[in-house]
Amino acid sequence: MSVRRELHTPSRTIMTPGPVEADPRVLRVMGTPVVGQFDPAFTNIMNETMAMLRELFQTENRWAYPIDGTSRAGIEAVLASVIEPGDSVLIPIYGRFGLLLTEIAERYGAKVLTMECEWGKVFDPEDIIQEIQQARPKIVAMVHGETSTGRIHPLREIGEACQAYDALFIVDAVATVGGCEIKVDDWKIDAAIGGTQKCLSVPSGMAPITYNDRVADIIAKRKKVERGIATQADSTRLSGNRPIISNYFDLSQLEDYWSERRLNHHTEATSMLYALREGVRLVLEEGLEERFERHRVHEQALQTGIKGMGLELFGDESCKMPVVTCVQIPEGIDGESVRNMLLTQFGIEIASSFGPLAGKIWRIGTMGYSCRKENVLFVLAGLEAVLLRHGAAIEAGKALQEVLHFYEETETKAVL
Amino acid sequence: MSVRRELHTPSRTIMTPGPVEADPRVLRVMGTPVVGQFDPAFTNIMNETMAMLRELFQTENRWAYPIDGTSRAGIEAVLASVIEPGDSVLIPIYGRFGLLLTEIAERYGAKVLTMECEWGKVFDPEDIIQEIQQARPKIVAMVHGETSTGRIHPLREIGEACQAYDALFIVDAVATVGGCEIKVDDWKIDAAIGGTQKCLSVPSGMAPITYNDRVADIIAKRKKVERGIATQADSTRLSGNRPIISNYFDLSQLEDYWSERRLNHHTEATSMLYALREGVRLVLEEGLEERFERHRVHEQALQTGIKGMGLELFGDESCKMPVVTCVQIPEGIDGESVRNMLLTQFGIEIASSFGPLAGKIWRIGTMGYSCRKENVLFVLAGLEAVLLRHGAAIEAGKALQEVLHFYEETETKAVL
């Protein structure tokens, strides 16, 4: 490369299920100068972030901190720290990210038991509970919101069953945290993993996790302090449990780093932590309920527009994820050609899907900072124009009229 | 937490061996808006970063890309992807980060053979070569620059021996890349891992790696595409090699993400990639040779000042790392009290050390953006004042006079 030009990115309206537009206030704090990892000013920021994460996850758990990696790093850290070879793990799969849980659990030696349902639906919680009763797994792992199919799963009854049958309940809340209700303590979730680049509107690169004492107890039994920083007291391991394979994802070491002991592990990703702290602060400032309601309003607006132009939604409406709307690609229309024209002509990004849904649906996100009126109006305007350009039988002009009417009504109600 | 105040950090002069001050131009690009991970504008940034990383590592390797995690994530990704249980790994240890290599290799099932030398020295390369000849390990892993002791290891002869005896040579260049010469191809290094938060002056949170075809061949034999995105062609694995345990650190999957196939793995850490690209761009713009020379000049200035005030350096001078200077804590002085006063009164951070050197030495970094004249002068001024305040037998005023003289001479020479 002879010319090394300065970084330049085009303007984009990002309406995918992530990564979405980062909040400009989050981007701004990323320019804050670095401070050292053991500087009291920095460890204070670590503690503040932990406190705010507890509020975000609606938990009293001691442990709530980020893994320095993308969302799947958080998932792997939890699974790798909990699963010992031979452990039984029940994974109800209703989309691609359930498959990812299976993949990771198997790599760490779990005996995985899966249940599968048609993509676009979720399970009857009773079926899962029955499976727990019969199989008595050590762990039940599942996805809260499946962006691949746009479905959200009820968790409360499953959490209660897990507690009753002494299984650990691990939940991938990557796509829901900060956008949809997730009550870690109330729902008896033992460990939850969130994502940054979706409803939190923080760039990808960190994964906030939280877990309770049931999980912490397992981790403690597998604890091993690394040579080079261990003291005499650390050198004897009392239990016969196998140490955690990964060093980077070893939550027992991360606890020593995120608590008073401040034992060096990695060097915390300074600027990403600034960003996460700001992203969560903005969520709490907006208010969890208010934020969830905002996501619901724009989801309704988007659906109104999609239906208004004559398109059909994909999937079972009763378990639709409020922050992702899946749209059937009309017969005879090349979905990728539509996405491409939206990007190159309008600078708007929407998503395709995976596996059995590839080429069949588009996925439109309404997440975090991207979830706002002008974005909803713009994606509908763009989609309508591009579909007309592709010869689709779309009713011109109706979508935006109906959505404007919806917003006017909603705003009137909000004033009353 | 009732008050969720805006992020605020104090002003700091960071003269540790990392994390150091990020270049303001790097911080600035972190505020660039997010673009989607498969947006051609973003995949172009990925490709540009790969090209620049090749220049940084002085390699023609196809594979040069970052792991989304801190430096040890890069180390673990390489070791986890290469090591199969039972593989023999020779690790010559001359400080804490050699121990970390041991720790990670053992966790992945390696039969680790170590050599140790006194902290503050390095090995005679001939001793390592002899060990390679005798033990014939599959892998030799070692640290290029040990920040814990401030030593740098000659690698060229060892690389040649590794090639001659068919061992893979894996080098932790976390603390040296961008500050000291590291010639991946010339020195026959099979895989190298760099760090961002040291000589590159990019915040912590990414680890650029590079590896050649010898490593890529091993990884290819262990390849496994995950369910949910695999096609028919992926489903049959031909070899009997064990798949890589970690999903997140599976370099065979990362290759599919960083190449034309663009198979979804994680969501690339957008803002950190912007930062890494800018940091490496600035290194190449300055010029590798010019940058290494700048580091040497300020190192000499710092040493002049340290000796000028009557302090002694720690360690074997012949293998001193140019970007870290280790200083003996004078008899009767509480090293942590000095560090604390430096931080709270002057806002200057220097480092202590680990293991056998804890309490015995301070470590002062001259890395990346922190490596500049005003920082060297300020750390010396602060250290002198704090030592006087602690009653140390220090000659007042002499350090800065000698360093100013040194800089004037150096600058005069540079003009000629």
- Chain B CB within 8 Å of residue A16 CB: yes
Q: Which two tokens stand for residue A236?
A: 């004897």
pLDDT of B304-353, one tens digit each? 999 999 999 999 999 999 999 999 999 999 999 999 999 999 999 999 99
Q: Which two tokens stand for residue B308?
A: 């000028």
Cα separation values, A16 from A308, A371, B16, B272, Å: 20, 10, 41, 20
Identify any residues that bridge with B207 across adjacent strands, giving them in sequence order: B67
Residue pair B328/B314 in contact (Cβ under 8 Å)? The answer is yes
Helices (H), A187-240: 213-221
The reply to whether residue A41 touches residue B270, judged by beta carbons under 8 angstroms, is no
Distance from CA of B211 to the nearest CA of A (A): 19
Q: Which two tokens stand for residue B197?
A: 């938060």
pLDDT of B231-252, one tens digit each? 666 654 545 678 899 999 999 9
Q: What is the mean pLDDT of chain B?
A: 95
- Give residue for tokens 């909040």: A23
Beta strand extents in A235-382 (DSSP E only): 324-328, 348-349, 361-365
- The DSSP annotation for B150-182 comes to TEE---HHHHHHHHHTT-EEEEEETTTTTTS--
- pLDDT at residue B228 tops 80: no
Residue B6: what residue type?
A: E
Q: Residue A22: what pLDDT?
A: 98
Q: Residue A2: what pLDDT?
A: 47
Q: What is the mean pLDDT of chain A?
A: 95
**First CA to last CA distance, chain B:** 61
A194: Cβ contacts below 8 Å, ≥ 6 apart: A56, A57, A71, A74, A173, A174, A177, A178, A200, A207, A208, A209
Q: Residue A1: what pLDDT?
A: 46
pLDDT of B124-178, one tens digit each? 999 999 999 999 999 999 999 999 999 999 999 999 999 999 999 999 999 999 9
- Chain B CB within 8 Å of residue A18 CB: yes
Least confident of A350-359, A389-398, B2-11, B162-171: B2-11
Pick from A2, A3, A5, A7 the residue to mutate for testing the B interface (most B CBs within 10 Å).
A7
Q: Residue B233: what pLDDT?
A: 63
**Torsion A212-A217-A222-A225 (CA) sign:** positive
Distance from CA of A106 to the nearest CA of B (A): 9
- Portion of chain B with pLDDT greater than 70, in percent: 95
- Chain B CB within 8 Å of residue A85 CB: no
pLDDT of B390-399, one tens digit each? 999 999 999 9
- Chain A CB within 8 Å of residue B275 CB: yes
Cα separation values, B58 from A6, A241, A321, B48, Å: 21, 44, 48, 15
**Measured in whole angstroms, how far is the alpha carbon of residue A166 from the centre of its chain?**
26
SS3 A170: strand
Mean pLDDT of B270-279: 98
The reply to whether residue A36 touches residue B16, judged by beta carbons under 8 angstroms, is yes
Output the furthest CA–CA distance in chain B (Å, rounded). 75
Q: Residue A229: what pLDDT?
A: 67
Pick from B3, B34, B37, B91 the residue to mutate for testing the A interface (most A CBs within 10 Å).
B34
pLDDT of B50-84, one tens digit each? 999 999 999 999 999 999 999 999 999 999 999 99
Residue pair A201/A26 in contact (Cβ under 8 Å)? The answer is yes
The reply to whether residue A34 touches residue B21, judged by beta carbons under 8 angstroms, is yes
- Portion of chain B with pLDDT greater than 90, in percent: 92
Mean pLDDT of A344-359: 95
- pLDDT at residue A240 tops 80: no
Q: What is the rounded (10 degree) CA torsion for B397, B401, B406, B407? A: 110
pLDDT of B259-268, one tens digit each? 999 998 999 9
The reply to whether residue A278 touches residue B7, judged by beta carbons under 8 angstroms, is yes
- Among chain A residues, the shortest Cα distance to B281 is held by A4
The reply to whether residue A103 touches residue B269, judged by beta carbons under 8 angstroms, is no
Identify the burial level of A338 via C-beta atoms within 10 angstroms of its C-beta, where 0-12 means exposed, 13-18 middle and 19 or more buried. buried
- Chain B CB within 8 Å of residue A218 CB: no
- Chain B CB within 8 Å of residue A88 CB: no
**Measured in whole angstroms, how far is the alpha carbon of residue B251 from the centre of its chain?**
20
Residue B197: what residue type?
A: Q
Q: Residue A4: what pLDDT?
A: 85
Residues 219-238 of chain B with CB under 8 A from chain A are 226-229
SS3 of B269-280: the string is: CHHHHHHHHHHH
pLDDT band at B1 (very low <50, low <70, confident <90, very high): very low
- Chain B CB within 8 Å of residue A249 CB: yes
- pLDDT at residue B2 tops 50: no
Closest in A16, A27, A45 to B31, CB measured? A27
Nearest 5°: phi and psi at B55?
A: -65, -40
pLDDT band at B414 (very low <50, low <70, confident <90, very high): confident
Helices (H), B63-111: 71-82, 96-107
- pLDDT at residue A239 tops 80: no
The residue that leads in pLDDT, B148 or A229, is B148
Residues 63-82 of chain A with CB under 8 A from chain B are 68-73, 76, 80
Tally C-beta pairs within 8 A across A and B.
279
| pTM for this entry | 0.96
Mean pLDDT of A134-163: 98
How many residues belong to chain A? 416
Neighbours of B356 (CB within 10 A): 14
- Give residue for tokens 């020593």: A256
Which residues in chain B are closer than 8 Å to A343, comparing Cβ atoms?
A: 39
pLDDT band at B224 (very low <50, low <70, confident <90, very high): confident
- Chain A CB within 8 Å of residue B350 CB: no
Which residues in chain A are closer than 8 Å to B28, comparing Cβ atoms?
A: 31
- Residue A374 CA to residue A58 CA, distance in Å, equals 31
**Torsion B172-B174-B177-B179 (CA) sign:** negative
- Chain B CB within 8 Å of residue A146 CB: no
- The DSSP annotation for B169-220 comes to EEEEETTTTTTS---TTTTT-SEEEE-SSSTT---SS-EEEEE-HHHHHHHH
Determine which helix (DSSP H) or strand (DSSP E) holds A126, and give its type and residue range. helix A125-135
pLDDT band at A236 (very low <50, low <70, confident <90, very high): very low
- Among chain B residues, the shortest Cα distance to A349 is held by B36
Identify the burial level of A310 via C-beta atoms within 10 angstroms of its C-beta, where 0-12 means exposed, 13-18 middle and 19 or more buried. middle
- The DSSP annotation for A381-401 comes to HHHHHHHHHTT----TTHHHH
Q: If you ran DSSP here, which 8-state letter would residue A201 be given?
A: -
- Residue B126 CA to residue A96 CA, distance in Å, equals 53
Complex ipTM value: 0.96
> Kindly report the CA angle at A332 between A326 and A337, in degrees rounded to 5?
70
- Residue A76 CA to residue A246 CA, distance in Å, equals 10
Q: Which two tokens stand for residue B408?
A: 């004037």
- Residue B199 CA to residue B26 CA, distance in Å, equals 13
Which residues in chain B are closer than 8 Å to A107, comparing Cβ atoms?
A: 243-247
Mean pLDDT of A155-165: 98
Cis peptide before A40 (omega within 30 of 0): no
